[in-house]
Structure 1
Amino acid sequence: MFHTLRLINPAQNPPPSFRPLFLERVPCGFPSPCQDYAEQELDLNEHLIAHRSSTFFLRAEGNSMQDIGLYDGDLLIVDRSLKPEHGDVVIAEVFGEFTVKRLLIKSHGPVLQPMNPAYPVITPDPETLQIFGVVIHFVHTTRRRN
């Protein structure tokens, strides 16, 4: 449940990497023919990283957050400049180790909620709880890696 954190910082000045962003949305229900043209181009650096100097990447480990679609090996994009709010997914330091959980702010103090019923809720001491950053995106690879 707890792991050592290995931070990966974004490149300081990455060249733009524009990819087509299509006008049509893809329905999750019934198929729809896609348009043959792009509405605009999208640079994922600009789309995923708002605060470059306070953003870092790391990999998820374990399955305590699988019910929100965060799986072992997924890439987390974390922003340290954001103030954690109720319901945010955060990287927290608890008992000297790091974990990724949903932050719930209750009347009696903060609670770190796993998103898998097989794991217990963590009620840390509010005086010692350190929130390392807010997870703003995670990248899940749907194709099996070889």
Structure 2
Amino acid sequence: MACPGEHGMSMHFTILGRVDTMARPLRLPLAAGEVRAGFPSPADDYIEVELDLIAHLIKHPSATFFLRAKGTSMEDDGIKDNALLIVDRSLNPQPGHIVIMSVDGELTCKKLSIMGSRPYLVASNPEFKPIPLSGHDCHNWGVVTHSISSLAPGFAI
């Protein structure tokens, strides 16, 4: 189905699944201190606590699911092609939130915005035009709470 906007939706998804609410916590070491972009401090070279990434990243497990993003329309907001998105269906989308929205039956990931008094979905990549929500069949799938991308070459998530 054609999408509003000259360039279309431009982002495709693979639904990866939901959070396993019965899984045991996986605690990983968390180093004390902060990571500096300059000269490292030898005093920060020790482990302070353990961190459960699921508990840290997911506030509402039964309402959370994972998507794999494809495309470049949101790269200026940190959502790279092939990023793993954590989406919370329990959150009420507000202007400024990045959302997963079905527009005329096609899923897209964009920032919810108000222009004038009308709602739009706006890409962070300026090559893509805003998508007006008025006059389209729209359904909110959830608010994107985190985007996880691999920084190491060949180390796909």
Name the structure 1 match of 2:40: 32
Matched-pair contact (CA < 8 Å) for 2:98–2:110: yes
Give me the TM-score of the superposition, normalised by structure 1: 0.90
The structure 1 segments of at least 4 consecutive aligned residues displaced by more than 6 Å after TM superposition are: none
- State the percentage of identical aligned residues: 40
2-structure distance, mates of 1:74, 1:105: 26
Name the structure 1 match of 2:112: 103
State the aligned residue count: 145
2-structure distance, mates of 1:121, 1:112: 6
Amino acid at match of 2:49: Q
Name the structure 1 match of 2:29: 20
1:138 aligns with 2:147: yes
Higher strand share: 2
Contiguous gaps of at least 5 residues in structure 1: none
Give me the TM-score of the superposition, normalised by structure 2: 0.84
> Superposition RMSD on alpha carbons, in Å?
1.8
Query: Deviations for 1:12-71, whole angstroms, at most 9, x for unmatched residues?
Result: 21111111112211123x122252322211000100111111000010010001111211
Question: Map of 1:1-146 to 2, 5 A cutoff?
Answer: 1-3=10-12, 6-28=15-37, 30-34=38-42, 35-125=44-134, 128-145=137-154
